[in-house]
Structure 1
Amino acid sequence: MTMSLDGAVAIVTGAARGMGAEHVRGLVAAGARVVATDILDEEGRALADDLGDAVMYRRLDVTDADAWDTVVAQAEEAWGPVKVLVNNAGIVMFGPIESLSPSDWQRAIDINLTGVFLGMHAVVPSMRRANGGAIVNISSTAGLQGYANLGAYVASKWGVRGLTKTAALELGPDNIRVNSIHPGPIRTPMIDGVSLDMVKSQPIPRVGEPEEVTAMLLFILQDATYSTGHEFIIDGGTIVGATVDVPDT
């Protein structure tokens, strides 16, 4: 059984660049009509212009509940009920717990976790009108394990993982699947300036590409129709374990 994306109405957050932009391109190629949202207006409009009539750009601060309602209403007015939501927007805050400011902590939680809640909260009535749909929340390997100096990011991404499971339980009867994707290091602006020496010890010793995450997204939407509430990991093997050098004997 597969889910057709031909003509499906989708909303993607954090869509102006990086993984979000690639997700928009992949959805359009699969036949969807996409509301690409972000706060990076220039880049978002350029993406929509490049992809044509199947995409419209709308500014969206994912922490603004009223703005979410507006975007969903605009999607419905233009194309009909929303079938797909990709909660992709996110930020990272660096620093140890003792020096991370409360305001930076709160900003990460507001965007990475509350933004996901608000997106689902806003879109569920529309998905019911569409007789079902699929929500994919972009978490991280930081939603599966700890990382030093990334306390706010880790907490928010674990929260996304748990919220995904609760939503899957609640929305299954409405024919709405909810899953999370957990990328490792992916070549996006978010990792600019970050040391990537860690990838050398992965089973696949390289940084991932945005289109590889999009391929996972499309698999979840189109083919993984009996999966809900689960983690789909795309990390080059980051969290598989550690290699131990065998001592000379």
Structure 2
Amino acid sequence: MKRMDGKVALVTGAARGMGRAHAIRLAEEGADILAIDCPPDSGLPYATGSSHDLQITVKEVEALGGRIIAHEGDVRKQSSLDNLVADGVKAFGGLDVAVANAGIWTVHPFHDIPEDEFTAVLDVNITGVWRTLKAVTPALKERGGGSIIVTSSGNGVEGSPHYAHYVASKHGVIGLAKSAALEFGGDGIRVNILLPGPTDTPALDWQGGYDLCSGKGPGQGVKEDLEGAKYWSVLRDVGLLPPRAMSEAMLWLASDESRWTTGLEMHVDGGHTLMAGLNMAKMAADQTP
């Protein structure tokens, strides 16, 4: 038997990046998938997942022999999440796992963050997680329990300049998840937190991502500076992490193998949070003739 045989799993932000990787990894292990992502958001400085991207996720799950229901919807709307859960329960008989993965970010110096962007980032990254948990917990209780995984970030436990609103949201989601873990433990529902390091997803492939990895300041980075992510890792030959790395950790938290675990902050970051700053040994080695 596969680890997720007979299980039904919901994934938000499933059109691409980590969300698609999560849906595929769960399907590989036998889960039926409920997937949701929103149409492109023209208010963001980078391209977001599209209907076409979501259909690629559907096709990749189906190519594995898996069953999937995919909705275009927005975690900023409770009805989008409630409708997906209702359709999934009707089609597949219940719900066992929820992965609250959807997230957005923008980059601005502190005083230049537009209020609408600050509000949008928190509405997706924190309030969207709250809405997701509201949508899924009744179905999980009906099933006798289950597993919820929420996505924070390495920035959920450290500060960083030029995207304070994103950092605040990722700190906040940890508190939200730990509070939910306390409330839902008696119902057999586990709530754990995944904290990714710098990951090779489309959300990093724009000027803000280049600046983040370059350390040169706003507007100074170039695409090649994404290679600078290797200085964020303790591990040899590790730079930007593949989305699959996050999905392997997510799978353990989703599966019965972690049935004694709740409220955990799971860092998947190459050891970045062990360091006070960048990996200077790697940097020095690269600069040695």
- Sort the TM-score into its range (normalised by shorter chain): over 0.9
1:82-109 CA-to-partner distances (Å, cap 9, x unmatched) read: 1100000100111111000100000000
Report the alpha carbon displacement of residue 200 of structure 1 after superposing the two structures with TM: 1.9
> For the Cα contact (< 8 Å) 2:24–2:60, is it kept in 1?
no
Asked if 1 retains the 8 angstrom alpha-carbon contact of 2:191 and 2:263, the reply is yes
Give the aligned partner of residue 213 of structure 1: 246
Indicate which of 71, 91, 94 corresponds to 1:78: 91
If the length of structure 2 is used for normalisation, what is the TM-score?
0.81
Q: CA deviation at 1:111?
A: 0.5
Shift of 1:168: 0.3
Q: How does 1:21-170 map to 2 (within 5 A)?
A: 21-39=20-38, 40-52=50-62, 53-170=66-183
2:6 is the alignment partner of 1:7: yes
- The Cα shift of 1:28 comes to 0.3
Match of 1:230 in 2: 264
Number of residues of Structure 1 aligned to a counterpart in Structure 2: 243
Residues 96 and 145, structure 2, Cα contact 8 Å, conserved in 1: yes
Question: CA-to-partner distance for each residue in 1:13-63, whole Å, 9 max, x for gaps?
Answer: 000101110100000011100011112222112221232251121112001
Give 1:244 shift: 6.9
SS at structure 2 position matched to 1:136? strand
Task: Give matches, 1:194-209, under 5 Å.
Answer: 194-195=209-210, 196=213, 197-204=228-235, 205-209=238-242
Q: Is contact 1:199–1:238 with CA below 8 Å preserved after alignment?
A: no
2-structure distance, mates of 1:51, 1:230: 28
**TM-score, structure 1 as length reference:** 0.93
State how far apart, in whole Å, the 2-side matches of 1:30 and 1:192 are. 30
Report the equivalent of 2:42: none
* Structure 1: gaps (5+ residues): none
Q: Among the aligned pairs, what percent are the same residue?
A: 34
Query: Match of 2:112, SS?
Result: coil
What code does the residue aligned with 1:234 have? V
RMSD: 1.5
Cα shift readout 1:146-185 (whole Å, capped 9, x = no counterpart): 1111111001111110001000000000000000000010
- Partners of 1:176 and 1:60 lie apart in 2 by 25
